[in-house]
Structure 1
Amino acid sequence: MDTSGGATAAQLRLLSRRTVTVLRTVAVVVAGGAGVAQAGRQMPVVAAVVVGLLVWSAVYARFTPSRWLIVADTGVVAGLCVAQGWVVRAEALPDSTNWVLAVVTITVVGHQWFTATWGGAALTAVLVAAHLVGQAAAGPEVPGGAAMLAMWVFGEAGLSRALRMFLYKAARRADDAVAGSERARRETAVAAARRADEREHLAVLHDTAAATLFAVGTRMVDGTEPGLVRQAARDLDILAAQPQRGDTDLARLLGDVARDAPVTVRLDVSGPIRMPAISASAIEAAAREALTNVARHAGVDSAELVAARHGSTVVVEVADSGRGFDPAGVPAHRHGVTGSITERLDRVGGRARITSTPNEGTVVRLEWPDAEHGRPAGEPARGRAGDGTLSDD
């Protein structure tokens, strides 16, 4: 029996096995009942044969589609064909009321679903030959009509085989379509992961070595500051670091960010804040970039960094009272905020919102939903930079 194909073909094999076996059993019961009903004086013999056939049908239904069971089934039905003269009334032998012919027909139809094409054809030929032998043994006047019925049996077997081939071809096409869709999904996911990795690499490069070199190149520093060496060493450590696994404490990471920031930071973190390391690293990097932007653009030398859980959401805010800016007026070629803050949070399932007004300062709000590590409902949240609250909006 064909075992190729995917899930759809496998389900079709299972369904066809059950359906064909049930139909075969029902047909044998009905045909056997008809044989007993029309047996007349042959009743004892016919009844005994039908009982034996029903017992065999139960064995067949239990173990189908074993190859050797199919061969044995062919032998049993062939023996029934040869014995037609003892179990079928003479007047029923050459026509379609012959109950043994009904058993032969349902047998060859069922065998097509459990055998290869040539195997099914060979078993059909064996049963048709046995049927003709049984007809000939019953009387010389029978074989003419029996030959026509034999051709009918071949036709039914061919139709059964054609239906099987059609359904299995359709099942394989469905499996191929599903497999193609799954391949496309995997390729899309791999491409998206590759693009995300590239964007993260560019963001890290922008936040570290590129920023340090830019500061030196534009003479924001003169190259003699003792902190510049530490900054360069920290850049190399970040670029060489491997992605972290498991959980980590965001509060500890933000403490390092505040300590290394190029401006004075008032840190207000209600910790520890346990969360997945990959998400914590994204928030850490975004907060670090926000503080770097304060030093570069805000015109002030201090900022506030506040972090806490708010319900099941981790919220981090970086706020300054500097010159601010109009977010709508940021040139399209400037990717610092987008690549290093907004998209970085997007990649880990969070979001970033930047609120700024010229001459009124800037607030960078980083949010990450953390249902698994969220604090119990009703536990108070810590405050927002500047006024002691972390807002929901």
Structure 2
Amino acid sequence: MTRAALRILAVARLVVALVGGLLGVMSAPSGHELRTTVIVITVSAWSVLYARWLWQGPPPGLAWADVAVLSVVGLLQPWTVPPLSVGNGQGWVITLVSVAVVFHQWHTKPVSGLVSASVVTVAFLVGAWWTAPDLWVGAAAIGAWTPVQAILSRVLNTLLIQAARAADVQESRAVAARREAAVAEAVRADERANAAMLHDTAATTLLMVGLGEVGSSRQWVREQAGRDLDALAGENLDVAEGDALPALLEVVHASRVAVDLTAPDALPLPHEIATAVRGALREALNNVIRHSGETSATVVITVDSVVITDRGKGFRPESVPERRRGVANSIVDRLAAAGGRAVITSAPGEGTTVRLEWDRG
């Protein structure tokens, strides 16, 4: 905000100096035209430098250098401003002085800004008295208003800075809140992913063994336990970028369900959606053997979906208790997190269809 304000002030100061100087040359006191022109050119050249430094960022002492130039200009009013213009406040010098002391408040400290305004005002009043002693009262009234302008400018500058700082604080708090929310969501997502992985692997295998659905000495259990440990250790967790079909076929062949499979020759997928589809496919096949009462299912893999269908006893998806998170976490949420969709269609006595979909890109 300060940088933008200083650049606006730099342009404004330059315009005032050039336009005011031109008017000063046009209204120069009789017999002082050459002196007025020289002074105006000097002030204009300084104003160009001043505006440039203000635009780039004011260096230390810039305001005091400007005070020195303006004080000299104020004292030289007998050469540059007609007496009548001094008395009624229409001279180009008072315009330049008023603008300068207002602008100084934006790149000086409060005490320095007030002192600079006072010094320039005194120089203007002395020059006005030398120019038109009889009209000095009018010049004094106008000159006395200059420090008031400086004070008002300082108040505005202070209020804007305070408002900007308050806005920065609010923005910082908002950023921190968004960051904390993002971290919390990432933690929750990681927890959901870990819970889904545990549910899909070791928990399911142990449950089937515990319920007597498979014998603990069977070769499948040993192989499945090895796959579960690899998954929980983070090995072979993600499907590599490229052809996802081998990973899906591995899940189908490792399942205890007899699968009637239809698949293309290749299935190019981004690794994120491929990993999600593999996990959801594994959970869907586990659900067939655990809940449907069937030992077979149909799996149709296409370029934009995987459909798992069984002819088992079915269920009402809306009636599944919230504590049963297998379908919700391991299938629906997993696909959604990867940008896909999972649609579960089932009814008592009518079997179940799980459709895993993604957008072709």
Residue number in structure 2 paired with 1:300: 294
Residue number in structure 2 paired with 1:40: 30
SS of alignment partner, residue 182 of structure 2: helix
User: In the superposition, relative to structure 1, how do residues 304 and 45 fare at CA in structure 2: closer, same or farther (>3 Å)?
Assistant: same
Give the Cα–Cα distance (whole angstroms) in 2 for the partners of residues 85 and 245 of structure 1. 88
Give the Cα–Cα distance (whole angstroms) in 1 for the partners of residues 239 and 21 of structure 2. 70
- Which has the larger share of helix? 2
Alignment of 1:123-134 (within 5 A): 123-134=116-127
Give the Cα–Cα distance (whole angstroms) in 1 for the partners of residues 154 and 322 of structure 2. 66
SS of alignment partner, residue 302 of structure 2: strand
Aligned pairs, number: 356
Identity of counterpart residues, as a percentage?
39
Aligned equivalent of 2:351, options 337, 341, 361: 361
User: In the superposition, relative to structure 1, how do residues 275 and 51 fare at CA in structure 2: closer, same or farther (>3 Å)?
Assistant: same
Give the Cα–Cα distance (whole angstroms) in 2 for the partners of residues 173 and 134 of structure 1. 44
Aligned equivalent of 2:282, options 288, 300, 303: 288
Residue number in structure 1 paired with 2:58: 66
Give the Cα–Cα distance (whole angstroms) in 2 for the partners of residues 136 and 49 of structure 1. 19
Opposite residue 303 of structure 1, the aligned amino acid is: A
Shift of 1:334: 2.0
Aligned equivalent of 2:231, options 233, 238, 260: 238
Residue number in structure 2 paired with 1:376: none
SS of alignment partner, residue 317 of structure 1: strand
Give the Cα–Cα distance (whole angstroms) in 2 for the partners of residues 191 and 143 of structure 1. 72
Is 1:321 aligned to residue 311 of structure 2? yes
Alignment of 1:85-100 (within 5 A): 85-100=78-93
Alignment of 1:202-221 (within 5 A): 202-221=195-214
Aligned equivalent of 2:267, options 259, 269, 273: 273
Opposite residue 286 of structure 1, the aligned amino acid is: A
TM-score using structure 1 length: 0.82
Give the Cα–Cα distance (whole angstroms) in 1 for the partners of residues 143 and 319 of structure 2. 88
Shift of 1:104: 1.0
Asked if the contact 1:248–1:280 (Cα under 8 Å) also holds between the matched residues in 2, the reply is: no
User: In the superposition, relative to structure 1, how do residues 131 and 203 fare at CA in structure 2: closer, same or farther (>3 Å)?
Assistant: same
Structure 2: give runs of 5+ residues left out of the alignment.
none
Shift of 1:47: 2.1
Shift of 1:167: 2.2
Opposite residue 87 of structure 1, the aligned amino acid is: T
Give the Cα–Cα distance (whole angstroms) in 2 for the partners of residues 80 and 246 of structure 1. 77
User: In the superposition, relative to structure 1, how do residues 154 and 216 fare at CA in structure 2: closer, same or farther (>3 Å)?
Assistant: same
User: In the superposition, relative to structure 1, how do residues 332 and 217 fare at CA in structure 2: closer, same or farther (>3 Å)?
Assistant: same
User: In the superposition, relative to structure 1, how do residues 358 and 21 fare at CA in structure 2: closer, same or farther (>3 Å)?
Assistant: same
Asked if the contact 1:351–1:366 (Cα under 8 Å) also holds between the matched residues in 2, the reply is: yes
Is 1:229 aligned to residue 217 of structure 2? no
Shift of 1:290: 0.6
Asked if the contact 1:255–1:267 (Cα under 8 Å) also holds between the matched residues in 2, the reply is: no
Asked if the contact 1:324–1:357 (Cα under 8 Å) also holds between the matched residues in 2, the reply is: yes
Shift of 1:191: 1.6
Structure 1: give runs of 5+ residues left out of the alignment.
1-11, 372-393
Asked if the contact 2:239–2:275 (Cα under 8 Å) also holds between the matched residues in 1, the reply is: no
Give the Cα–Cα distance (whole angstroms) in 2 for the partners of residues 156 and 121 of structure 1. 10
SS of alignment partner, residue 31 of structure 2: helix
Shift of 1:342: 1.1
Give the Cα–Cα distance (whole angstroms) in 2 for the partners of residues 370 and 23 of structure 1. 57
Aligned equivalent of 1:31, options 17, 20, 26: 20
Give the Cα–Cα distance (whole angstroms) in 1 for the partners of residues 205 and 41 of structure 2. 93
SS of alignment partner, residue 41 of structure 1: coil
Opposite residue 41 of structure 1, the aligned amino acid is: G
Opposite residue 344 of structure 1, the aligned amino acid is: R
Give the Cα–Cα distance (whole angstroms) in 1 for the partners of residues 240 and 95 of structure 2. 68
User: In the superposition, relative to structure 1, how do residues 72 and 244 fare at CA in structure 2: closer, same or farther (>3 Å)?
Assistant: farther
Alignment of 1:161-172 (within 5 A): 161-172=154-165
Alignment of 1:174-213 (within 5 A): 174-213=167-206
Asked if the contact 1:321–1:362 (Cα under 8 Å) also holds between the matched residues in 2, the reply is: yes
- Root-mean-square deviation (CA, aligned residues, Å) is 2.4
Opposite residue 32 of structure 1, the aligned amino acid is: G
Shift of 1:251: 0.6
